[in-house]
Amino acid sequence: MQPMTVADTALGPVKPGLPLSIFDSVHVGIDEFGLPVRVPLIWRNLLIGGEPGAGKSALLNVLVAYAALCLDCRLILLDGKQVELGQWRKCADAFVGPHIVKALALLSRIQTMMDNRYAYLLDCERRKITPQDVFTAYVVAIDEIAYYSATTGDKKQREEFASLLRDLVARGRAVGIIVIAATQRPSSDIIPTSLRDLFAWRFAGRCTNDSSSDIVLGHGWANKGWTANAISPNNPGAGLLIAEGGSPQLVKTAYLDDRTCAAIAAYAGEMRATATADRPRLRSVPSAA
Ligand SMILES: Nc1ncnc2c1ncn2[C@@H]1O[C@H](COP(=O)(O)OP(=O)(O)OP(=O)(O)O)[C@@H](O)[C@H]1O
């Protein structure tokens, strides 16, 4: 089977006739003028915050769908609810549900891989991964940070999760580890400023107040008139997107319903099985929680 192209997926424009690549920008939706909004993910991380029902998982699924169709990218999924990202589990190197011990083991392994990749780059006198590199990028998608960092397990485990996550977000970019994390609890205990500022991209779906919106976007934006609290609760998928150093932009995210996700996941799973049959995978953690 041939790798899927943009014409097949309508997920965003890349070079016609070529498979999707994580080194290209990902179509995430449209702006208030109806123009496409694209986000380059490689060498960056993305934080998604907002109240329940704001459309966080929907955006996460759009991004994971794109990544699943990229043969130059592997998937790691952590989802306390299991069903938000569960459709992509067959495309993923690892899928962890509501299991803090497995989540910690998985993040530790990724941390080791990250250190090894840096050692390799150092030996090569290089600073970051390139499209033709010996190793592929990883998208680490987490639906509900707070589940692992503030809800499940004991205090030590939650703190260890927060610390591993912070390290991956802080150091993973250059070696192709892209963290995309969502939370319905944009509060300072879950997203302290020091962690928030490590995310190059931040999307705030509707938030319950200005302060939650600022916790996702950055301090002071609400005072300047940019608050995700102003987004209608009847408009899921609408939110403010900000890139590091930029200003917020109103976006309505793309949406893939469950059937479409299932179809893309089946296609991507088959494509990956064929393409990566001879490659080692990050398989130490069993694929179900
Ligand atoms: N971009 C979109 N366009 C149209 N509808 C959307 C969009 N995003 C989300 N929705 C609708 O909103 C519903 C809730 O979205 P979603 O599950 O992504 O919210 P959430 O923020 O992840 O909620 P929770 O925090 O409770 O998991 C979806 O089932 C869908 O019907």
Q: Residue 246 is encoded by which pair of tokens?
A: 């930029």
Q: Compute the residue count for the chain.
A: 289
3-state secondary structure of 43: coil
What is the pLDDT, as a whole number, of residue 14? 42
* Bridge partners, residue 45, by sequence: none
The per-residue pLDDT for range 234-282, each reduced to its tens digit, is 999 999 999 988 999 999 999 999 999 999 999 999 998 887 655 555 5
Domain 22-97+136-147+178-275, second-level architecture: 3-Layer(aba) Sandwich (3.40)
Q: Residue 43 is encoded by which pair of tokens?
A: 């060498």
The per-residue pLDDT for range 54-66, each reduced to its tens digit, is 999 999 999 999 9
* Bridge partners, residue 81, by sequence: none
Q: How far is the CA of 205 from the centre of ligand 1 (A)?
A: 10
The per-residue pLDDT for range 257-267, each reduced to its tens digit, is 999 999 999 99
Task: Provide the CA 73 distance to its chain's centre, in angstroms.
Answer: 12
Does the CB atom of residue 56 touch ligand 1 within 6 A?
yes
Q: Are 229 and 47 within 8 A, CB to CB?
A: no
d(CA 226, CA 273): 44
d(CA 256, CA 152): 29
DSSP for residue 173: G
Does the CB atom of residue 131 touch ligand 1 within 6 A?
no
What is the pLDDT, as a whole number, of residue 202? 96
Question: Residue 186's pLDDT band (boundaries 50, 70, 90)?
Answer: confident
The per-residue pLDDT for range 155-184, each reduced to its tens digit, is 999 999 999 999 999 999 999 999 999 999
**How do the domains of the chain map onto residue ranges?**
22-97+136-147+178-275
Task: Name which residue sits closest to atom 24 of ligand 1, judged by CA.
Answer: 52
Report ipTM (2 d.p.). Answer: 0.98
Does the CB atom of residue 237 touch ligand 1 within 6 A?
yes
Task: Name which residue sits closest to atom 1 of ligand 1, judged by CA.
Answer: 237
Angle at 193 between CA 140 and CA 153, to 5 degrees: 55
Return the best residue to mutate from 57, 60, 84, 251 for the ligand 1 pocket (most ligand atoms within 8 A of CB). 57
What is the pLDDT, as a whole number, of residue 288? 41
pTM, two decimals, is: 0.90
What is the pLDDT, as a whole number, of residue 29? 98
**Closest ligand 1 atom to 238 CA:** 1
What is the pLDDT, as a whole number, of residue 194? 83
Percent of the chain with pLDDT over 90: 78
Residue matched to tokens 């799973």:
269
What is the pLDDT, as a whole number, of residue 274? 84
Q: Can you say which residues are annotated as belonging to the binding site?
A: 50-57
Return the best residue to mutate from 255, 257, 259, 260 for the ligand 1 pocket (most ligand atoms within 8 A of CB). 255
Angle formed by the axes of helices 155-171 and 100-123, to 10°?
Answer: 30
Does the CB atom of residue 58 touch ligand 1 within 6 A?
yes
The per-residue pLDDT for range 82-109, each reduced to its tens digit, is 999 999 999 999 999 999 999 999 999 9
Rg (CA), the chain: 18
Q: Are 42 and 92 within 8 A, CB to CB?
A: no
d(CA 25, CA 210): 30
The per-residue pLDDT for range 107-132, each reduced to its tens digit, is 999 999 999 999 999 999 999 999 98
